[in-house]
Amino acid sequence: MNKFGLIGFPLEHSFSKKYYLEKIENEKLKGYDYDLYPINKLELLHELLKTENLTGINVTIPYKIEVIPYLDALTEEAQSIGAVNCIEFQKTDNKVRLIGHNTDVYGFKKSLIPLLSKGTNKALILGTGGASKAVEFALKALKIEYKLVSRTRRESILSYNELNKKLINSYNIIINTTPLGTFPNTEEFPDIPYKYITNNHICYDLIYNPTETKFLKLAKKQGAKTKNGYEMLVLQAEENWNIWTK
């Protein structure tokens, strides 16, 4: 039996279990299972690995960074971002090495590409938390110039107060990596001057619940192309599966 699972805490609203169990059933895959492991401290990971005989793990909040010391190696993406959302169990010479991957990069990059125009593409990344690091890595790979935006002005990071008409017009992609607008706080949204957004803009929200955040609604009202994070989630989930079953 190939058993995969998700570690994090809490996990009540996890996308992963439903997605993978439906995949196993719909594709009539034999010898696979997936479950949730809501561990309230990461020290319990060692015990989990001993008792559950897992062959692949997803990692979510709050352990994407904390899990790194437990691993034997990291991919280039995971090393650069400093966060892991997928652990590969690499078996060699009767030993198992734990390899940390970050498939959020793959999911975001592949879901963004169809939206890009042939003209100049420059991006504003709203937020500087862990999710923004994967977006930065993907934009670098796509050779898209970007600026980070945060509540506080820092070196090379803009503040929300600095976003004027000229800046918004200069950056045709706006990506929300903050949790603002996530269910149940659906009336929250990043404080940017939406009146300067036009039909030349792409507005992308990493949030997938709700399917249309206030950020996306306000951008759509201005004529922008919009996209939520659901396809990114599906793409990274499929990449995790490819890593585990290759």
Mean pLDDT, range 108-129, rounded to an integer? 93
- Of 58, 76, 102, the last residue of a domain is 102
pLDDT at 120: 78
Same domain, 20 and 110: no
Q: How many domains in the chain?
A: 2
Same domain, 115 and 217: yes
- Of 70, 102, 134, the last residue of a domain is 102
Q: Which residue has the tokens 């058993």?
A: 3
Q: CA 65, CA 85: separation in Å to the nearest integer? A: 9
pLDDT at 235: 98
245 inside domain: no
Task: Check which CATH number belongs to the domain holding 111 and give it.
Answer: 3.40.50.720
Q: Do strands 73-74 and 122-126 pair parallel, antiparallel, or not at all (unpaired)?
A: unpaired
Same domain, 206 and 162: yes
pLDDT at 189: 98
Cis omega (within 30 of 0) for bond into 114: no
Give the list of residues 6+ apart from residue 175 with CB closer than 8 angstroms, or none.
123, 124, 125, 126, 135, 203, 204, 205, 206
* Alpha helices per DSSP H over the chain: 16-26, 45-52, 76-81, 104-112, 130-141, 165-170, 214-221, 230-245
Write out pLDDT tens, residues 162-203.
Answer: 999 999 999 999 999 999 999 999 999 999 999 999 999 999
- Which own/partner contact pairs does 155-164 have at CB distance under 8 Å and 24+ positions apart? 157/128, 158/124, 160/190, 160/191, 160/192, 163/124, 163/192, 163/193, 164/193, 164/196
Residue 110 known to be catalytic: no
User: Exposure string (b/e) for 160-183, b if CB count within 10 Å is 16 or more?
Assistant: eeebeeebbeebbbbbbbbebbbe
Single out the residue of 83, 107, 100, 93 nearest to residue 16, CA to CA: 107
Percent of the chain whose pLDDT exceeds 90? 90
pLDDT at 155: 85
Same domain, 59 and 167: no
State the pTM of this model.
0.92
242 inside domain: no
pLDDT at 175: 98
pLDDT at 93: 80
Q: Look up the domain containing 199 and give its range.
A: 105-232
Task: Check which CATH number belongs to the domain holding 12 and give it.
Answer: 3.40.50.10860
Single out the residue of 150, 136, 147, 148 nearest to residue 102, CA to CA: 136
Same domain, 209 and 110: yes
Q: Which residue has the tokens 């594709």?
A: 27
Same domain, 125 and 200: yes
Q: CA 191, CA 137: separation in Å to the nearest integer? A: 24
Q: CA 132, CA 216: separation in Å to the nearest integer? A: 18
Residue 95, Cβ neighbours under 10 Å: how many? 8
Residue 66 has pLDDT above 90, yes or no: yes
Mean pLDDT, range 27-42, rounded to an integer? 97
Catalytic-role residue among 64, 133, 214, 227 = 64
Same domain, 110 and 78: no
Structure tokens at 105: 């990069």
pLDDT band at 148 (very low <50, low <70, confident <90, very high): very high
- Of 40, 74, 102, the last residue of a domain is 102
pLDDT at 92: 83
Radius of gyration of the chain (CA): 19
Q: How far does the chain reach from its first CA to its final CA, in angstroms? A: 15
Q: What's the count of helices (H) and strands (E) in the chain, helices before strands? A: 8, 12
246 inside domain: no
pLDDT at 78: 96
Q: CA 97, CA 100: separation in Å to the nearest integer? A: 10
Write out pLDDT tens, residues 199-242.
Answer: 999 999 999 999 999 999 999 999 999 999 999 999 999 999 99
